[in-house]
Amino acid sequence: MSKVLMKGNEALGEAAVRAGCVHFFGYPITPQTEVPEYLVKRLREVGGTFVQAESEVASINMVMGAAGMGVRCMTSSSSPGISLMAEGMSYIAACELPCVVINMMRAGPGLGGILPAQSDYFQATRGHGHGDYQVIVLAPSSVQEAVDLTTLAFELSEKYRNPAMVCADGMIGQMMEPVEFPEEGAATPMPENDWSLGARDGRERRIVNSLYLSPEDLHRHNLKLKAKYDEIAANETRQEIYGTDDGYDVLVVAFGTMARICKTAIDEVRAEGLRVALFRPITLNPYPFGALRDAMDAIEGDGPVLDIEMSMGQMLYDVKLAAEGSRRIEFYGTAGGVVPSPDEVAEKIRGLMQGVQ
Amino acid sequence: MTATCTLTDCGAAPDVEYSMDDYAGPVARWCPGCGDHSVLSAAQRLLATHQMAPEKTVFVSGIGCSSRFPHYLRTYGFHGIHGRALPISTGVKLARPDLDVFAVMGDGDCCSIGAAHWIHAVRYNVNMVALLLDNNIYGLTKKQTSPTTPQGFPSNTQPRGSILPPMNPLSVTLGVTNASFVAQTADWAPQHLYATLDAAYRHRGFAFVRILQRCPIWTASLFRDAVQDPAKVEVLVHEKGIHDATTEAIHTNHLDHDPSDLNAARALAEEGGMRLGLFFHDPTNACYDETRRVPGYTPEDRIAILKRELDRHAV
Ligand SMILES: Cc1ncc(C[n+]2csc(CCOP(=O)(O)OP(=O)(O)O)c2C)c(N)n1
Ligand code: SF4
Ligand SMILES: [Mg+2]
């Protein structure tokens, strides 16, 4: 298929349809409203359903119901709406059901504003509801990657029977870029399985459940989940490393929109002869700790790591975990929907390099 | 009002008098022709009529165009959470029963995401005024179907027309045990709107007022007929009801309805139509803020309670 020019939110919707998603449940919220507004027309064409629920609490529970039937389904929202889904996400993870959740992050806390931010990193990567569970979190930095990661989110959520989240922001949702999609109809239907409900002749009775009154049983259930999360961590981390060709003295770490801006800034400072590389986690959970540590260890001399986020420092904790005290970590962050320009980032890097050379 | 403090005079007039201007906040940034402007004017007039002290008055809202309300008044304000204006108001009133509390909500706010709270707020019957600014659409997020959108009316989430018959906020409220004041008015009937707010404010208990609100941007066609043709609107009249001579002169379709009759109110609400007036009023229902009020203990009371408690543990 040739490339088409599409707005991020709509491309994401199209990617979901191509991945075989047939049910969407959601509640309007800026800046992701084009996802449902695109799907309302598109799902009809593929025989799927679109439902505007009465709230995000209802959306995620409708998703839970549909997921329990063994069909591909999703919801999409932005930060305040995702907060309301916390309870549902915990139950869906506990019941080991697959679903995809999109978060077009906006600036918080509270109602905050509708401009891009990355301040839901903790919420996404620490399992924002109660209990010992995790969500697979993918962070695109272009419209094409939003498409690819939405496809991957459906794959991983089904492979591991766990919610998978695509965590982007209003910038990616609103911008238009050329994109390429997987062939329509190429997605295989969800295979016959041993966990979903639905009356079928001769099938043993099944119950979707997250209640374990016996501590031993609940302990075992948590161990099983943990083993699954360990497997995900071992197999599914993804990252991009940029600007490492001729060695580097400083390593910038950034994800999503911020990483994209950092790339431009790095091109700028490299042209001036400064040796700077970028590490961009694509999976925020599982976090690519090992790859990041390797990239840190490859910094020449004792140059620092510069973590840049559109938040007050959330991924920073994971960067520090990766470093385990082995290296100086600097942080630069903006909030409230303030998106730093490549020039501002370049200036930060130059300032940092003065101490290095 | 400005008060100049000198050594001999604190500057405050003994009989403070507030004018409409004393309640006016920054210029309201709703679209021109938006019905919310008219509700704001009526609220300012109500505040001035009752000389409500701005520092003793709180306007609580959820999220939506209509929920910008508190920003445009010089009373105290609480711009809350989408759907949660009522529980926030309940918290405010239970914590400070001396304050006058008004909740301002949109139809998405109250009837969709906040619907569960709405039902329980009616049950609690906390002494406050709840205003539903119903433009039959999600305004702020740009034209998505709301629970009150008429069936067949297209939106960005239901482009082939709203699928379900609209929810009737009057019937819903009247259906909840403990409802005590239910009225409907319209932004384009300013006298009636004011008279309704006045009656709601005077009511002891949870006063629910649905205000039919024009949104010229997304639902311009919906109220056009009613606005242009006064005969399309029916006014409920009764000695116990809301009375406004101007409205009754403009809208000559009158319907006699005794607002103390719950069954009649329910039947009337269920029939639908453009009816303005007081559907139901029962001032005798217990208010949660009164029944749950903790008595004010004196130090002696407290010592006596403490002694009683300690005696239980005597060995
Ligand atoms: C939890 C949450 N979900 C969604 C939103 C987005 N949102 C803001 S206002 C609104 C609905 C507005 O419609 P309505 O309540 O009818 O008020 P109006 O703008 O029409 O006055 C929505 C969905 C939000 N702020 N918070
Ligand atoms: S969009 Fe509609 S409801 Fe919102 S301010 Fe404009 S006219 Fe009023
Ligand atoms: Mg509305």
Measured from the CA of B142, which atom of ligand 2 is nearest? 1
A178 lies in the same domain as A287: no
Atom of ligand 2 nearest to the CA of B140: 4
Q: List pLDDT tens digits, range A104-123.
A: 999 999 999 999 999 999 99
Spatial contact of A247 and A300, defined as CB atoms under 8 Å apart: yes
Tell which of A217, A235, A253 closes a domain: A235
The ipTM is: 0.93
Q: Are residues A299 and A194 in the same domain?
A: no
Mutation target to probe the B interface, by most B beta carbons within 10 A, among A9, A51, A52, A60 is A52
Q: Which atom of ligand 2 is nearest to the CA of B65?
A: 4
Residue A200 and residue A285 in one domain? no
Alpha carbons B182 and B259: distance in angstroms, whole number: 9
User: CA of B84: which chain A residue's CA is closest?
Assistant: A55
CATH topology of domain B20-312: Rossmann fold (3.40.50)
Q: Which of A34, A54, A57, A85 to mutate to test the interface with B (most CBs of B within 10 A)?
A: A54
CA distance A179 to A8: 9
pLDDT, one tens digit per residue, over B286-308 is 999 999 887 788 999 999 999 99
Where b means 16+ CB within 10 Å and e means fewer, B302-314 reads eeeeeeeeeeeee
CA distance B177 to chain A (A): 23
d(CA B165, CA B151): 5
The Cα angle at residue A295 between residues A289 and A299, in degrees rounded to 5: 140
Give strand ranges (E) for chain A.
4-7, 23-26, 49-52, 73-77, 99-105, 136-138, 163-169, 176-179, 239-242, 250-253, 276-281, 283-285, 305-309, 329-333
Q: Is B41 on the interface with A (CB under 8 A)?
A: no
Q: Whole-angstrom Cα distance, residue B194 to residue B172?
A: 24
Ligand 1 lined by B212 (C-beta under 6 Å): no
Question: Is pLDDT above 50 for B1?
Answer: no
- Helix (H) / strand (E) containing B265: helix B262-271
Domain count, chain A: 2
Residue A80, Cα to own-chain centre: how many angstroms? 16
Cα–Cα dist B46/B195, whole Å? 9
Please identify every residue whose CB atom is under 5 Å from ligand 3, which is an ion.
B 106-107, 135, 139
Taking CA atoms only, the protein residue closest to ligand 1 atom 25 is B82
Q: Dump the DSSP string for B111-167.
A: IIITHHHHHHHHHHT-SEEEEEEE-SSBTTTTSB--TTSPTT---SSSTT---SPPP
What CA–CA distances, in Å, run from B16 to B51, B107, B198?
A: 9, 37, 21
Indicate the domain borders of chain B. Answer: 20-312
Segments of chain A scoring below 50 in pLDDT = none
Q: What is the pLDDT of residues B165-190, one digit of tens each?
A: 999 999 999 999 999 999 999 999 99
**Interchain CB contact of A54 with B (< 8 Å):** yes
- Which residue's alpha carbon is nearest to atom 8 within ligand 2? B34
Q: How far is B61 from chain A (nearest CA, A)?
A: 13
Look at residue B230 in the predicted model and tell me its pLDDT.
Answer: 95
A88 and A222 assigned to the same domain: yes
- A68 with A97, same domain: the answer is yes
User: Residue A80 CA: which ligand 1 atom is closest?
Assistant: 1
The model's pTM? 0.93
Two structure tokens written together for A199: 């009356």
Residue nearest to ligand 2 atom 6, measured at CA: B31
C-beta separation of B121 from B130 below 8 A: yes
Q: Which residues contact B263 (CB under 8 A, 6 or more apart)?
A: none
B105 alpha carbon to ligand 1 midpoint, in Å? 10
Interchain contact A108–B (C-beta under 8 A) = no
Give the pLDDT score at A192. 85
Residue of A nearest to B156 (CA): A37
- From B141, B215, B222, B223, the mutation candidate for ligand 2 (largest count of ligand atoms within 8 A of CB) is B215
Q: In terms of residue numbers, what domain contains A317?
A: 240-356
Interface residue B167 vs chain A (CB under 8 A): no
Q: Do residue B144 and residue A52 have CB atoms under 8 angstroms apart?
A: yes
Question: Between β-strands B181-186 and B275-281, what pairing exists: parallel, antiparallel or unpaired?
Answer: antiparallel
N- to C-terminal Cα separation, chain B: 64
End-to-end CA gap in chain A: 49
In terms of residues, how long is chain A? 357
pLDDT at B6: 65
Distance A42 CA to ligand 1 centre (A): 24
Mean pLDDT score across all residues of chain B: 95
Q: Is the domain of A15 the same as that of A135?
A: yes
Q: What is the CATH number for A65?
A: 3.40.50.970
**Do A221 and A270 fall within a single domain?**
no
User: A40 and chain B: CB distance < 8 Å anywhere?
Assistant: yes
Tell me the mean pLDDT in the region B16-41: 94
DSSP 3-state of B181: strand
Enter the tokens of residue A85.
Answer: 């889904």
Distance (Å, rounded) from C-alpha A257 to C-alpha A279? 13
What is the best residue among B141, B142, B143, B219 to mutate for testing ligand 1's pocket, by most ligand atoms within 8 Å of CB? B141
With a 6 A CB cut-off, is B40 part of the ligand 1 pocket? no
pLDDT of residue B296: 83
Considering the domain architecture, whether residues A96 and A159 belong to the same structural domain is answered as yes
Chain B residue closest in CA terms to A36? B157
Quick one: A202 and A279 in the same domain?
A: no
At A289 the three-state DSSP class reads helix
Say how far apart CA A130 and CA B11 lie, in whole Å: 56
Asked if A328 and A226 sit in the same domain, the reply is no
Ligand 2 pocket test: which of B135, B137, B221 has the largest number of ligand atoms within 8 Å of its C-beta?
B135
> How many Å apart are CA B172 and CA B131, to the nearest integer?
15
pLDDT tens-place string over residues B92-110: 999 999 999 999 999 999 9
Q: Is B139 in the pocket of ligand 2 (CB under 6 A)?
A: yes
Would an 8 Å CB–CB cutoff place A109 in contact with chain B?
A: no
Sign, CA dihedral B288-B291-B292-B293, equals positive
Strands A136-138 and A283-285: antiparallel
- CATH label of the domain that carries residue A283: 3.40.50.920
* Residues A213 and A271 reside in one and the same domain: no
* Residue of chain A whose Cα is closest to the Cα of B138: A28
**Do residues A226 and A244 both lie within one domain?**
no
Choose the final residue of a domain: A235, A270, A298: A235
